[in-house]
Amino acid sequence: MKRPNLLLWLIVGIQVLCAGAFVVSLALSLLGMQRTANSWQMREALEIAASIGLIFGAVLGVFSVLQARRSQHQAEQALRSAAGAFAVTVDEKLAGWGLTNAEKDVAWLVIKGFSTKETADLRGTSEGTVKSQCNAIYRKAGVKGRAQLLSGLVEDLLLSSDD
């Protein structure tokens, strides 16, 4: 990984030197401070070298952007895979606890962070029903409340990802 970084900094350095050569040459010409008269061959060689350096830097910039986009795409795919694995693992846990379909729905809403009132509104039931379902979920999961349910799931997920 060090080699591409070194190459990138080398190209950026060359680009800066090439751009600097153009700027210095232009500034000296505008200010009438040309120290020595350069032959037209030397001036052309300098401008060609600077142009090649700038073009090479631009090509490398495009390559770097494409590489970054590929890396971003791979990271997004990995995140989608992880999210899918998370959902599968949680579904397996909920099924393993023997939850009813209604309790599974409520459990998912609890995991997503919805309050009792929000869960009741989303499900079209009373808060009392949701509280009762939550108590059944906690009992079947062997936890005392929402915080323990979430921390237990996270712990189980982290332990299963180590396998």
The DSSP annotation for the chain comes to -HHHHHHHHHHHHHHHHHHHHHHHHHHHHHHT---S---HHHHHHHHHHHHHHHHHHHHHHHHHHHHHHHHHHHHHHHHHHHHHHHHHHHHHHHHHTT--HHHHHHHHHHHTT--HHHHHHHHTS-HHHHHHHHHHHHHHHT-SSHHHHHHHHHHHHHHHHT-
> For 142-161, what is each residue's pLDDT tens digit?
999 999 998 888 887 777 65
Q: Is the pLDDT of residue 1 over 50?
A: no
Q: Is the pLDDT of residue 2 over 60?
A: no
Q: Among 3.30.420.10, 1.10.3720.10, 1.10.10.10, 3.40.50.720, name the CATH number for the domain at 97-163.
A: 1.10.10.10
Q: What is the pTM assigned to this prediction? A: 0.53
Residue 160: what pLDDT? 66
Residue ranges covered by each domain of the chain: 1-79, 97-163
Confidence of residue 34 (pLDDT cuts 50, 70, 90): low
Q: What is the mean pLDDT of residues 14-41?
A: 75
Residue 32: what pLDDT? 75
